[in-house]
Amino acid sequence: MPAKNIVVIVGSLRRASFTRRVAEAMVRLAPGAFGFQFAEIGRLPLYNQDLDSPDQSPKAWVEFREFIRPFAGVLFATPEHNRSIPAALKNALDVGSRPYGQSAWAGKPAGIVSVTPGAMGGFGANHHLRQSLVFLNMPAMAQPEAYIGHAADLIADDFSVKVESTRTFLGQYMTAFETFVAKLA
Protein backbone atom coordinates (compact mmCIF):
# COMPACT_ATOMS: atom_id res chain seq x y z
CA MET A 1 0.00 0.00 0.00
CA PRO A 2 1.46 3.40 -0.93
CA ALA A 3 2.26 5.81 1.91
CA LYS A 4 -0.28 8.25 0.46
CA ASN A 5 -3.27 6.60 2.13
CA ILE A 6 -5.37 7.59 5.12
CA VAL A 7 -7.34 5.15 7.22
CA VAL A 8 -10.82 6.17 8.36
CA ILE A 9 -11.99 4.90 11.74
CA VAL A 10 -15.71 5.29 12.42
CA GLY A 11 -16.66 5.03 16.07
CA SER A 12 -20.26 4.10 15.40
CA LEU A 13 -21.00 0.45 14.73
CA ARG A 14 -24.45 0.99 13.25
CA ARG A 15 -24.27 0.35 9.50
CA ALA A 16 -26.40 3.37 8.56
CA SER A 17 -25.10 5.63 11.31
CA PHE A 18 -25.02 9.39 10.86
CA THR A 19 -21.31 9.30 11.69
CA ARG A 20 -20.53 6.76 8.95
CA ARG A 21 -22.60 8.78 6.47
CA VAL A 22 -20.68 11.96 7.29
CA ALA A 23 -17.35 10.11 7.01
CA GLU A 24 -18.34 8.67 3.62
CA ALA A 25 -19.34 12.14 2.44
CA MET A 26 -16.06 13.63 3.66
CA VAL A 27 -13.99 11.05 1.80
CA ARG A 28 -15.89 11.92 -1.38
CA LEU A 29 -15.12 15.62 -0.81
CA ALA A 30 -11.37 15.10 -0.31
CA PRO A 31 -9.16 16.79 -2.91
CA GLY A 32 -7.64 13.50 -4.00
CA ALA A 33 -4.01 13.72 -2.93
CA PHE A 34 -4.60 10.70 -0.70
CA GLY A 35 -6.56 7.49 -0.95
CA PHE A 36 -8.90 6.59 1.89
CA GLN A 37 -9.75 3.20 3.32
CA PHE A 38 -12.17 2.39 6.14
CA ALA A 39 -11.09 0.10 8.99
CA GLU A 40 -13.85 -1.83 10.70
CA ILE A 41 -13.59 -1.96 14.49
CA GLY A 42 -16.79 -3.71 15.52
CA ARG A 43 -15.39 -7.23 15.70
CA LEU A 44 -12.27 -6.47 17.71
CA PRO A 45 -12.31 -8.46 20.97
CA LEU A 46 -12.09 -6.25 24.04
CA TYR A 47 -8.51 -5.48 24.93
CA ASN A 48 -7.14 -7.59 27.78
CA GLN A 49 -3.43 -7.36 28.49
CA ASP A 50 -3.41 -10.95 29.79
CA LEU A 51 -3.99 -12.10 26.19
CA ASP A 52 -1.44 -9.81 24.59
CA SER A 53 1.53 -12.03 23.90
CA PRO A 54 2.89 -13.43 20.63
CA ASP A 55 1.31 -16.84 21.24
CA GLN A 56 -2.05 -15.68 22.68
CA SER A 57 -3.08 -12.42 20.99
CA PRO A 58 -6.42 -12.76 19.20
CA LYS A 59 -5.93 -12.91 15.45
CA ALA A 60 -8.23 -9.88 15.01
CA TRP A 61 -5.87 -7.75 17.14
CA VAL A 62 -2.80 -8.74 15.16
CA GLU A 63 -4.57 -8.16 11.83
CA PHE A 64 -5.90 -4.76 12.94
CA ARG A 65 -2.46 -3.58 14.08
CA GLU A 66 -0.84 -4.69 10.84
CA PHE A 67 -3.63 -3.09 8.81
CA ILE A 68 -3.13 0.31 10.54
CA ARG A 69 0.68 0.48 10.38
CA PRO A 70 1.22 1.46 6.71
CA PHE A 71 -1.21 4.39 6.63
CA ALA A 72 0.13 7.95 6.51
CA GLY A 73 -2.67 9.36 8.69
CA VAL A 74 -5.94 8.63 10.43
CA LEU A 75 -9.33 10.31 10.11
CA PHE A 76 -11.48 9.58 13.16
CA ALA A 77 -15.24 10.05 12.89
CA THR A 78 -17.01 9.63 16.19
CA PRO A 79 -20.47 9.97 17.60
CA GLU A 80 -20.83 11.15 21.17
CA HIS A 81 -21.88 8.60 23.79
CA ASN A 82 -22.46 10.08 27.24
CA ARG A 83 -20.18 13.06 26.49
CA SER A 84 -17.36 10.76 25.41
CA ILE A 85 -16.33 8.40 22.64
CA PRO A 86 -18.02 5.03 22.10
CA ALA A 87 -16.54 1.95 23.75
CA ALA A 88 -15.73 0.36 20.39
CA LEU A 89 -13.55 3.33 19.41
CA LYS A 90 -11.72 3.33 22.74
CA ASN A 91 -11.13 -0.40 22.36
CA ALA A 92 -9.69 0.12 18.86
CA LEU A 93 -7.30 2.74 20.27
CA ASP A 94 -6.23 0.33 23.02
CA VAL A 95 -5.77 -2.64 20.68
CA GLY A 96 -3.75 -0.57 18.20
CA SER A 97 -1.54 0.90 20.91
CA ARG A 98 -0.28 -2.41 22.28
CA PRO A 99 1.94 -4.21 23.05
CA TYR A 100 3.53 -1.31 24.89
CA GLY A 101 6.21 0.34 22.77
CA GLN A 102 4.82 -1.10 19.51
CA SER A 103 1.85 1.19 18.89
CA ALA A 104 0.47 1.11 15.36
CA TRP A 105 -0.76 4.68 15.94
CA ALA A 106 2.56 6.31 16.92
CA GLY A 107 3.38 9.45 14.97
CA LYS A 108 0.39 9.28 12.63
CA PRO A 109 -1.28 12.66 12.05
CA ALA A 110 -4.97 12.57 12.91
CA GLY A 111 -8.13 14.42 12.08
CA ILE A 112 -11.25 14.27 14.24
CA VAL A 113 -14.83 14.88 13.24
CA SER A 114 -17.57 14.40 15.81
CA VAL A 115 -21.14 13.89 14.71
CA THR A 116 -24.48 14.06 16.51
CA PRO A 117 -28.12 14.35 15.56
CA GLY A 118 -28.42 17.09 18.18
CA ALA A 119 -27.16 20.65 18.12
CA MET A 120 -23.86 20.37 20.02
CA GLY A 121 -21.96 18.35 17.42
CA GLY A 122 -20.20 16.01 19.84
CA PHE A 123 -17.88 18.51 21.52
CA GLY A 124 -17.26 16.17 24.48
CA ALA A 125 -16.38 13.18 22.29
CA ASN A 126 -14.11 15.27 20.10
CA HIS A 127 -12.09 16.51 23.06
CA HIS A 128 -11.96 13.17 24.87
CA LEU A 129 -10.53 11.61 21.74
CA ARG A 130 -7.94 14.39 21.52
CA GLN A 131 -6.79 13.52 25.06
CA SER A 132 -6.12 9.91 24.08
CA LEU A 133 -4.28 10.96 20.92
CA VAL A 134 -1.79 12.98 22.97
CA PHE A 135 -0.71 9.84 24.82
CA LEU A 136 -0.66 7.83 21.58
CA ASN A 137 1.77 10.36 20.03
CA MET A 138 -0.69 11.26 17.28
CA PRO A 139 -0.61 14.94 16.37
CA ALA A 140 -4.23 16.01 15.92
CA MET A 141 -5.11 18.75 13.47
CA ALA A 142 -6.09 21.77 15.54
CA GLN A 143 -7.91 23.85 12.93
CA PRO A 144 -10.42 23.68 11.54
CA GLU A 145 -12.31 21.80 14.22
CA ALA A 146 -15.23 19.66 13.05
CA TYR A 147 -18.32 19.34 15.24
CA ILE A 148 -21.19 18.25 13.01
CA GLY A 149 -24.63 18.73 14.57
CA HIS A 150 -28.07 17.98 13.14
CA ALA A 151 -26.46 15.14 11.18
CA ALA A 152 -29.75 13.38 10.44
CA ASP A 153 -30.58 16.11 7.92
CA LEU A 154 -27.21 16.55 6.21
CA ILE A 155 -26.31 13.55 4.07
CA ALA A 156 -28.30 12.09 1.16
CA ASP A 157 -28.46 8.37 0.39
CA ASP A 158 -25.71 8.77 -2.23
CA PHE A 159 -23.49 10.40 0.47
CA SER A 160 -23.74 13.84 -1.07
CA VAL A 161 -24.10 16.69 1.39
CA LYS A 162 -27.54 18.32 1.19
CA VAL A 163 -26.62 21.62 2.86
CA GLU A 164 -24.32 23.84 0.79
CA SER A 165 -22.61 25.52 3.77
CA THR A 166 -21.88 22.09 5.30
CA ARG A 167 -20.57 20.75 1.98
CA THR A 168 -18.25 23.75 1.71
CA PHE A 169 -17.04 23.34 5.29
CA LEU A 170 -16.42 19.59 4.96
CA GLY A 171 -14.53 20.13 1.70
CA GLN A 172 -12.37 22.78 3.34
CA TYR A 173 -11.78 20.47 6.29
CA MET A 174 -10.62 17.66 4.01
CA THR A 175 -8.31 19.99 2.09
CA ALA A 176 -6.78 21.19 5.36
CA PHE A 177 -6.50 17.60 6.63
CA GLU A 178 -4.72 16.35 3.52
CA THR A 179 -2.29 19.30 3.79
CA PHE A 180 -1.73 18.52 7.49
CA VAL A 181 -1.02 14.84 6.80
CA ALA A 182 1.30 15.69 3.88
CA LYS A 183 3.38 17.94 6.14
CA LEU A 184 3.71 15.41 8.95
CA ALA A 185 3.68 11.99 7.30
Tell me: the pLDDT tens digits for 15-41?
A: 889 999 999 999 999 999 999 999 999
pLDDT in tens, 90-133: 999 999 999 999 999 999 999 999 999 999 889 999 999 999 99
- Percent of the chain scoring above 70 in pLDDT: 98
Whether residue 3 is predicted with pLDDT greater than 70 in this model: the reply is no
Phi, psi (deg, nearest 5) at residue 170: -65, -35
| Residue 1 pLDDT | 43
Residue 134's nearest CA partner among 106, 99, 162 is 106
Alpha-carbon dihedral sign for residues 15, 98, 7, 26: positive
SS3 content of the chain, % helix, strand, coil (to 5): 40, 15, 45
- What mean pLDDT is predicted for residues 153-175? 96
Residue 55 has pLDDT above 90, yes or no: no
What architecture is domain 5-184? Answer: 3-Layer(aba) Sandwich (3.40)
* Euclidean distance between CA atoms 137 and 108, whole angstroms: 8
Please name which of 170, 92, 174, 169 lies closest in space to residue 133, comparing C-alpha atoms: 92
